Amino acid sequence: MPNLGQELTDPDTGARLRFLRTSNSSEGESTVVSLDVLEGWSAGPLHVHPLQSERMLVVEGVFNLRRGNEERELRVGDRIEVRPRTAHTISVVGEAGTLEAEFAPSLRTDELFEVMFSATWPRRPPGFVPAALRAWVESRGFADEIRYLWPRRVGGMFGVAAVLTLIRELLRRRQGHAMRTP
């Protein structure tokens, strides 16, 4: 379990997350994080939090939010609430930004973030795996906290693409190793 103030850095995106409130410090009421992100970052594909509300505050930068059928730009000081089971995603516009996000109730959100930001988690896909697929793999086992929404056909295509990408990368590395071996 994370501690108040603990920071995690995603090894693939460079995003930094700091725990402002944890499940333990709030007796399960909510988890609050500060998230510093760089150009190209997004919260992944459309997703829902089945049992949680999410509240976001833009601290720095500009973000594009998609919530249900609504799309809008959020700027410094803007606050937004996403109710449980509401499809949404958010991405940074420009070079960088900072968000504060609160998830209520906490459930296992602290643990989810530790997994998603860990370079050493045993099931973490390699960095060359597309971010959307990486997020889906990392969130397995956290169905009460997050569920990604994509048509089953697309999910299957992601799986096939990931396996093919992994095989291609392993073959490339093996060929490189064979060329170096006398």
Residue 103 confidence (pLDDT):
98
- In CATH terms, the fold of domain 7-150 is Jelly Rolls (2.60.120)
% of the chain surpassing 70 pLDDT: 76
The predicted structure's pLDDT at residue 67: 97
Residue 38, pLDDT above cutoff 90: yes
Across the range 90-113, mean pLDDT stands at 96
Reported as a pLDDT band with limits 50, 70 and 90, residue 170 is low
Q: Which residues pair with 73 in a beta bridge?
A: 64
Supply the pLDDT for residue 177: 53
String of b and e for 9-31 (b: at least 16 CB within 10 Å)?
ebebbebbbbbbbbbebeeeebb
The pLDDT of residue 31 is above 50:
yes
Q: Summarize pLDDT for 142-165 with one digit per residue, the tens.
A: 889 999 886 544 445 555 566 666
Give the C-alpha distances (Å, rounded to integers) separating 84 from 73, 93, 152.
Answer: 21, 25, 22
- Asked whether the predicted pLDDT for residue 3 surpasses 50, the reply is yes
